[in-house]
């Protein structure tokens, strides 16, 4: 007998107070009338890292293989996962076409692995446009970024100490 996968909807968002600066992610998981919210703050990170971490932590929270609709306002996340960028980067040893290292190369393989465990459809939503779950994720992410006990984003801080390039523009 073939069992159907549970369908879970995951909303995600990241926030950064300065870029780089204190940041956080927010996640809302919805399944059959149940709701779970996740968030965590970091003392020094970037907005894009928080967007990626939100997706990672949302998928990581699933207990078994699921069909997932992951909804985000991050164009980077959507484009990377739906336009074949991540497969090219992986095939090129986490380097772009111009041979520059992919930013956040410590996070993309984690996300790719989690997507391999589930059937994931990525959908984009306009940020700050009234989607209640996206707004809730934004609130969770911002509160986490302002929290009193922020974690270390070791992946980012190690790169920052080594002088690796930092993002030049904030989230659109």
Domain ranges in the chain? 6-156
Task: Catalytic residue, from 57, 73, 133, 153: name it.
Answer: 73
Q: Is 13 one of the catalytic residues?
A: yes
Question: What residues pair up with 76 in beta bridges, in sequence order?
Answer: none
What pLDDT score was predicted for residue 24?
98
Question: What does the mean pLDDT of the chain come to?
Answer: 92
Q: By the 8 A CB rule, do 49 and 23 touch?
A: yes
For 37-93, how does the pLDDT look when each residue is reduced to its tens digit (9 = 90+)?
999 999 999 999 999 999 999 999 999 999 999 999 999 999 999 999 999 999 999
SS3 20: coil
> What average pLDDT does the segment 113-125 reach?
97
Q: Is 51 one of the catalytic residues?
A: yes
> What average pLDDT does the segment 26-44 reach?
98
Q: What fold is seen in the domain 6-156?
A: Nucleotidyltransferase; domain 5 (3.30.420)
Q: Is 113 one of the catalytic residues?
A: no
Q: Is 73 one of the catalytic residues?
A: yes
Task: Catalytic residue, from 51, 57, 133, 153: name it.
Answer: 51
Q: Is 7 one of the catalytic residues?
A: no
What pLDDT score was predicted for residue 3?
62
């Amino acid at each position: 007998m073939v069992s159907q996968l549970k369908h879970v909807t995951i909303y995600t968002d990241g926030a950064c107070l300065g870029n780089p600066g204190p940041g956080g992610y927010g996640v809302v998981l919805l399944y059959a009338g149940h709701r779970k919210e996740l968030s965590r703050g970091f003392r020094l990170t970037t907005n894009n890292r928080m967007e990626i971490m939100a997706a990672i932590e949302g998928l990581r929270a699933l207990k078994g293989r699921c069909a997932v609709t992951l909804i985000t306002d991050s164009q980077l996340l959507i484009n990377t996962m739906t336009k074949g960028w991540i497969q090219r980067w992986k095939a090129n040893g986490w380097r772009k076409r111009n041979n520059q290292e992919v930013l956040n190369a410590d996070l993309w393989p984690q996300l790719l692995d989690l997507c391999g465990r589930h059937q994931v459809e990525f959908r984009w939503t306009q940020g700050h446009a009234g989607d209640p779950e996206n707004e809730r994720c934004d609130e969770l992410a911002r509160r986490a970024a302002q929290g009193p006990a922020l974690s270390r984003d070791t992946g980012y801080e190690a790169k920052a100490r080594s002088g690796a390039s930092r993002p030049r523009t904030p989230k659109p």
